[in-house]
Amino acid sequence: MWTQGSDSLAIRRASAKDAVAVLQVFDEVIAWFVAIGNHGQWGTEPWSMSPRRVVQVTEACALPGAWVVEGPDGRIHAVLVLGEPMPYVPAATEPEVYVRLLIAARDSGVRGLGRRLMAFADERARALGVQRLRVDCYGGGSGDLVRFYESCGYERLSTFDVDGWPGQLLGRSL
């Protein structure tokens, strides 16, 4: 349980049943991206309207390493999915925890939640006896997302391209 302002936030395992609420977080973040001119990261259309994205998010929420952050009103504010590396990045050379997905609502009341979830990923790695973490992210635009992960202790490892989508792979050792 975390306290955020006057609210208590709970982190719990996610399930496929959370997909609709997680898609709402995606839709809100994408609307914000569109407002600031970031069209390259996840596009401009709400993910809840894309059958492919609905399947992706539902499958991600069902993974054993999927977690959501829920407010006292039951609203989901963030999701973190830990698991196997994405198929488009080089295979791990040592045991690791891979951050497959991190998204947090833009609500000012939950500011800093993404950073807290990255610290939670560190805790999960320690609990598993793993010293290495990796994450990939959108490497285009302003570069703010790459800098966010760097501020969480990650270092740039390599860049990649998935059908014109510029990516950045980062890693850290505990």
| DSSP for residue 153 | T
Q: What are the pLDDT digits (tens) for 51-83?
A: 999 999 999 999 999 999 999 889 999 999 999
pTM score, whole prediction: 0.92
Per the structure, the count of domains in the chain is: 1
Tell me: pLDDT of 41 over 50. yes
| HSE-up of residue 61 (Cα within 13 Å, Cβ side) | 23
Residues 6+ apart with CB under 8 A from 150: 156, 170
CATH code for the domain in which residue 88 is found: 3.40.630.30
Rounded mean pLDDT, 131-158? 95
Domain that holds residue 105: 2-173
Residues 101-120 have a mean pLDDT of 91
Tokens read off for 26? 């995606």
Burial of 134 (0-12, 13-18, 19+ CB in 10 A): buried
For residue 107, name the pLDDT band (cuts at 50, 70, 90): confident
- Long-range CB pairs of 83-87 (<8 Å, 24+ gap) are 85/134, 86/136
Q: Please check the confidence at residue 6 and state whether its pLDDT lies above 50.
A: no
Q: How confident is the model at residue 1 (pLDDT cuts 50, 70, 90)?
A: low
